[in-house]
Amino acid sequence: MAVLALAFLLGCTDLFGPAPQAVRYLQPRLVALSFNDVDANLRHGGLLELYGSLADTALRLQEYERIPLEITATSGDSETMGFFNLLCPNRARIRGRHHCFRFDIVMQQGHDPSEVAPYLAAMGGRFNFTSGSWFAAVTIFETGNIVRNAHDAMSWPGVRFVELSRPLCLGSCPSLTVPVRIDTGAAIVSDGILQVRSADTITVSYGNPSGGPLRLQLLVP
């Protein structure tokens, strides 16, 4: 299976993506904000996946484009994050589109996802969730390298195979997503990580160009 996964990834043209460009921020109209309450992990070392739905469903962001939104916690932290496309095209034009920030790992028998935790941390990623001793879904917070990251993960000890994630949505999938690192403790404003404390209210805000701002709130346990 690892050989098949490796062949699938190496079959991609322009395997590791284009050279990075300076980020350009856009402000199109959004019709909804939401979050993944299934995978939400608001503990130290966790993450929160935010979603946005575009009024113009045909709009696709280029690799260097982002849609900014503000995230605050009542204990004092404030971060500006950038929405990107939820789904990225497979460059080999096979098996459809994949999640722009996530891939899945299946472990060999007798191995556990905890064994790859140091390698994932070194890559700058975090676990979305693990299932028993055989499966882990992971998030990488920078776009453009997800294929490279998945390819590199195949060499981690105990890994049986790796596959790019494909979201399962009820109805249509939202257009946009951004994963947010969550840690606990004192606020460090604008460090790219949302620091929270128990009973905090997290507020996500987007300034629509027309129709008023969108807001989303959730409570930290």
Name the residue ranges covered by the structural domains of the chain.
Answer: 2-14+39-219
Outline where 34-112 has alpha helix (H).
none
Q: State the Cα angle at 52 between 100 and 90, rounded to 5°.
A: 20
How many alpha carbons fall within 13 Å on the CB side of residue 111?
17
Q: How many residues does the chain have?
A: 221
Task: Per-residue pLDDT tens, the chain, 221 aa: give them.
Answer: 343 343 334 334 334 445 557 899 999 999 999 998 766 789 999 999 999 999 999 999 999 999 999 999 999 999 999 999 999 987 655 567 899 999 999 999 999 999 999 999 999 999 999 988 899 999 999 888 899 999 999 999 999 999 999 887 767 889 999 999 999 999 999 999 999 999 999 999 999 998 789 999 999 99
Outline where 11-143 has alpha helix (H).
117-122
pLDDT for 159: 98
Outline where 168-208 has alpha helix (H).
none
Given a contact cutoff of 8 angstroms between Cβ atoms, the answer to whether 154 and 5 are in contact is yes
pLDDT for 6: 38
Given a contact cutoff of 8 angstroms between Cβ atoms, the answer to whether 219 and 200 are in contact is yes
Which one, of 117, 125, 121, 123, lies nearest residue 159 by Cα?
A: 117
Amino acid at 120: L
Looking at the DSSP bridge assignments, the partners of residue 130 are 136
pTM: 0.86
CA distance 75 to 42: 14
pLDDT for 12: 41
